[in-house]
């Protein structure tokens, strides 16, 4: 299994991040993550079909196993939520807590008019 290296406490070999995102391996992992998420942003809840100018992207919750990711290392976000997480330098979990505490009117969802609640 590809994760045995990490679980045995050995260091993972370094990976060129930008190069990795162009590989067939990453494309397959990204596709699998989108399927697991039912083609829905795991933060704002917009389905791929609802997005206007945004698209679905896969975000690394952790880069510890870059290239050897477990499914839980990846979350699916619309490009609006993904950009906002990186701009605001918040974790996925922090962003999820913010969303829990905000009344989500439809205009606050990504791909629609309005802005994100964080």
Asked whether residue 81 is assigned to any structural domain, the reply reads: yes
Q: 47 pairs with which residues across the strands? A: 40
pLDDT at 5 over 60: no
pLDDT band at 100 (very low <50, low <70, confident <90, very high): low
Asked whether residue 27 is assigned to any structural domain, the reply reads: yes
Q: What is the pLDDT of residue 91?
A: 79
pLDDT at 51 over 80: yes
> Across the chain, what does the average pLDDT equal?
78
Asked whether residue 96 is assigned to any structural domain, the reply reads: yes
Name the token pair of 61.
């919750």
Taking residues 27-45, what's their average pLDDT? 93
Total of domains in the chain: 1
Q: pTM of the predicted model, to two decimals?
A: 0.74
pLDDT band at 4 (very low <50, low <70, confident <90, very high): very low
Asked whether residue 115 is assigned to any structural domain, the reply reads: no
Residue whose pair of structure tokens reads 């990846």 in the numeric block: 74
Q: What is the pLDDT of residue 117?
A: 53
Asked whether residue 22 is assigned to any structural domain, the reply reads: yes
Asked whether residue 11 is assigned to any structural domain, the reply reads: yes
- Between 29 and 62, the higher pLDDT residue: 29
Asked whether residue 114 is assigned to any structural domain, the reply reads: no
Domain extent, residue 103, equals: 4-108
Taking residues 33-44, what's their average pLDDT? 93
Spatial neighbors of 117 by CB under 8 A, at least 6 apart, are 98, 99, 102, 104, 108
Q: 77 pairs with which residues across the strands? A: 57
Q: What is the pLDDT of residue 6?
A: 46
Asked whether residue 113 is assigned to any structural domain, the reply reads: no
């Amino acid at each position: 299994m590809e994760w045995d290296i990490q679980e045995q406490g050995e260091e993972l070999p370094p990976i060129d991040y930008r190069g990795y995102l162009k590989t067939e391996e990453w494309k397959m992992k990204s596709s699998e993550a989108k399927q697991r998420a039912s083609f829905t942003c795991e933060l704002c809840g917009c389905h791929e079909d609802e997005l206007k100018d945004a698209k679905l992207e896969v975000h690394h919750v952790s880069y510890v196993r870059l290239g050897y990711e477990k499914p839980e290392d990846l979350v699916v976000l619309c490009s609006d939520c993904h950009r906002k997480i990186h701009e605001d330098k918040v974790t996925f979990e922090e962003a999820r807590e913010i969303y829990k505490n905000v009344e989500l009117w439809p205009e606050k969802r990504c791909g629609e008019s309005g802005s994100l609640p964080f």
